[in-house]
Amino acid sequence: MFRALLDMAFPTYCLTCHQSLDSQQQQLCLACEYALPINEYYKTPNQNPLIQRFTGRFEVKYAFSYLNFVNKGKTQKLLHELKYEGNQEIGEYLGQQFGKLLYENGFATAFDLIVPIPLHSSKLKQRGYNQVDNIAKGMAESLHIAWQADALIRTRANQQQAKQDKEGRLKNAEALFVVNEKTEIKGKNILLLDDMITSGATIEAAALPIIEAGCQTISIASLASAL
């Protein structure tokens, strides 16, 4: 009753269509949630456009991406809310849905630890949070596994990947991460997570020190992909 009165006084709106939400809805209306561009990479985790991007670069066990990215589409709006509008809840919610999708399709015991791509300390201080941590938290909850925000350390602040060509992104990502000495990687099945994958240079830079640290397998996942 109180929630219904609160919604009447302070209505909330769908992040993508801006229609009012009722008390049973979170962040997205039912129509927009149903229309999310969920891809089917989870059906072919060993052979899809995402995993093929890393062929010959390092060995990937599985590759997943939850949403297809289209300019000015729903996914872009949600990423903008998460990264630039301070809406951490949408990241956690989408992470929960992503994790639930994997859990229900045979990956409940596939991973031991989710490792989110970290921000550099200067960027983290500026933004106040790492949006990938929000996604990781939601996924870990649905998959019933651990996640570790500081498993990787970003050694320097890099320029925005989206503003560079492929060669520039690859050069920018060189020696970008190290494994935290307190992180137990050896023998574990790692799920390396980012919010958006473009060239794959950042994922590769993060994966290589994890592999060197002796992980059993490494899989990759992103909330969104334009592939």
Quick: pLDDT tens for 55-68.
999 999 999 999 99
The alpha-carbon radius of gyration of the chain (Å, integer) is: 18
The reply to whether 113 and 207 lie within a common domain is yes
Q: Are 8 and 22 found together in one domain? A: yes
Torsion angle of C-alpha atoms 123, 126, 129, 133, degrees rounded to 10: -10
Mean pLDDT over each residue of the chain, to the nearest integer? 88
174 and 82, same structural domain?
A: yes
184-193 pLDDT, tens digit per residue, is 999 999 999 9
Report pLDDT for 171: 55
Q: Is the pLDDT of residue 5 over 60?
A: no
Please indicate, yes or no, whether residues 102 and 40 belong to a single structural domain of this protein: yes
How distant, in Å, are the alpha carbons of 19, 20, 95, 210, 225 from that of 67?
22, 24, 11, 25, 7
Domain count, the chain: 2
pLDDT interval class at 165 (50, 70, 90): low
Which range in 1-15, 101-115, 158-172 is most confidently predicted, on average pLDDT? 101-115
10: confidence class by pLDDT, cuts 50, 70, 90:
very low
pLDDT interval class at 160 (50, 70, 90): low
The three-state secondary structure class of 119 is coil
Does 57 lie in the same domain as 11? no
Same domain, 55 and 92: yes
C-alpha separations of 129 from 43, 59, 83, 220, 221 in Å = 32, 30, 9, 22, 20
Same domain, 31 and 50: no
Cβ-based neighbour number of residue 167 at 10 Å: 10
pLDDT at 157: 75
Same domain membership, residue 45 and residue 115: yes
CATH number for the domain including 123?
Answer: 3.40.50.2020
Predicted confidence (pLDDT) per residue in 71-104, tens digit: 989 999 999 999 999 999 999 999 999 999 999 9
Residue 122: which H helix or E strand, with range?
helix 121-127
Considering the domain architecture, whether residues 74 and 11 belong to the same structural domain is answered as no
Q: How far apart are CA 186 and CA 113, in angstroms?
A: 11
Instruction: Return all residues near 176 (Cβ < 8 A) that are at least 6 apart.
Output: 154, 155, 156, 158, 202, 205, 206
Residues 14 and 123 in one domain: no
pLDDT at 172 over 50: yes
Domain span holding position 3: 1-35
8: confidence class by pLDDT, cuts 50, 70, 90? very low
Tell me: do 24 and 65 sit in the same domain.
no
Same domain flag for 25 and 88? no
pLDDT in the model for residue 4: 41
**Lowest-confidence segment of 78-87, 101-110, 172-181 by average pLDDT:** 172-181
**Tally of CA atoms within 13 A in the half-sphere of 108 that contains its CB:** 4
